[in-house]
Amino acid sequence: MPTRLFHISDVHFGVEDPAALAAVAEAIALEKPDALVCTGDLTQRAKHSEYAAARDWFSALGVPVVLEPGNHDMPYYNPWERFTDPFRRYNALRAAVADGFESADVVLVPLRTTVRAQTRFPWSDGVVKPAALSPAVAAIRALKDAGDPRTIIVIAHHPLLGDEGKPQNPTIGGDAAFAALAAAGADAVISGHVHIPFDQHRSVGGHAMRMIGTGTLSTRLRQDSPACWRVITCEPGGVIATELRLAGAGLGGVQAA
């Protein structure tokens, strides 16, 4: 049986969509995916109450959970904590509900794209620093050097590339990171942040990789894109199939990727 992942993102506990979350939880109970991957913006303002709600929801699902933090997951009202220990609250959640996942089909490689501060505004946009990229590339190379046939999926909060056809990439270092990860042998990168789903084959500098994003499960909807999540089915050798699921009230159903 291929490995089935449910990919959700941008739940934004605090302004979450309860109907959308119920739809995902119901699908998990029914279909028992091998793991649930959430690519960040777990909370709206990184409040303790929002993290508590996230902990309650994730811990009740009964499947392995894999998390990456988003820009909303660092303290918003406590600048001291944001600068001294920005991921303390996120790390506590991860320790409580997430234990990592790999299977005979797929390896998930995390890539941190959120930073506590930047030299530009908005701070919400992504940055790929060498200290984040290097271990991800090294992990992929080690798998390839060992002849590991499994599909490799990088998980990040921010899309590494901008919209197709637009010259500007809001993620600093995203183009170089995309090329380095693809050159190392990653098959896909999955992300959230923009609250709009996509599934594209992209290429930078001759290095190609699939770029898959899912929408939000919050009420922060963008450009008429409804609440949604994605089923990602993996087999070795870079074989990936995806299916977008709509989760908004009255929008239950399946949409081809």
- CA-closest candidate to residue 43, choices 35, 56, 53, 29: 53
What's the CA gap between 228 and 83, in Å, rounded?
33
- Is 41 near Fe ion (CB under 5 A)? yes
Q: For Fe ion, which is the closer residue by CB, 107 or 132?
A: 132
Question: Least CB distance from residue 214 to Fe ion, whole Å?
Answer: 12
Q: For Fe ion, which is the closer residue by CB, 46 or 232?
A: 46
- Is 197 near Fe ion (CB under 5 A)? no
What's the CA gap between 112 and 69, in Å, rounded?
8
x/- mask, Fe ion, residues 204-243, rule CB under 5 A, reads: ----------------------------------------
x/- mask, Fe ion, residues 51-80, rule CB under 5 A, reads: -------------------xx---------
* Interface stretch with Fe ion, choices 38-46, 61-69, 127-135, 207-215 (CB under 5 A): 38-46
Q: Which residue is nearest to Fe ion (CB)?
A: 193
What's the CA gap between 132 and 199, in Å, rounded?
24
The 3-state DSSP composition of the chain as helix, strand, coil percent (nearest 5) reads 30, 25, 45
Describe the strand order of the beta sheet including 228-235 as a list of residue ranges. Answer: 65-67, 35-38, 3-8, 228-235, 239-246, 253-256
Number of residues that bind Fe ion (CB under 5 A): 4
Sign of CA pseudo-dihedral 182, 184, 176, 190: positive
Question: Least CB distance from residue 218 to Fe ion, whole Å?
Answer: 11
Q: For Fe ion, which is the closer residue by CB, 43 or 71?
A: 71
Q: Does residue 135 contact residue 179 with C-beta atoms inside 8 Å?
A: no
Question: Least CB distance from residue 26 to Fe ion, whole Å?
Answer: 26
Question: Contacting Fe ion (CB under 5 A), which of 89, 193, 210, 230?
Answer: 193
Question: Least CB distance from residue 195 to Fe ion, whole Å?
Answer: 8
Sign of CA pseudo-dihedral 25, 27, 31, 37: negative
Query: DSSP 3-state assignment of 72?
Result: helix
What's the CA gap between 102 and 254, in Å, rounded?
26
- Is 86 near Fe ion (CB under 5 A)? no
Query: DSSP 3-state assignment of 243?
Result: strand
* Interface stretch with Fe ion, choices 19-27, 36-44, 76-84, 162-170 (CB under 5 A): 36-44
Question: Least CB distance from residue 10 to Fe ion, whole Å?
Answer: 6
Q: For Fe ion, which is the closer residue by CB, 215 or 226?
A: 215
- CA-closest candidate to residue 104, choices 151, 167, 35: 151
Question: Least CB distance from residue 41 to Fe ion, whole Å?
Answer: 4
Residues near Fe ion, by CB under 5 A: 41, 70-71, 193
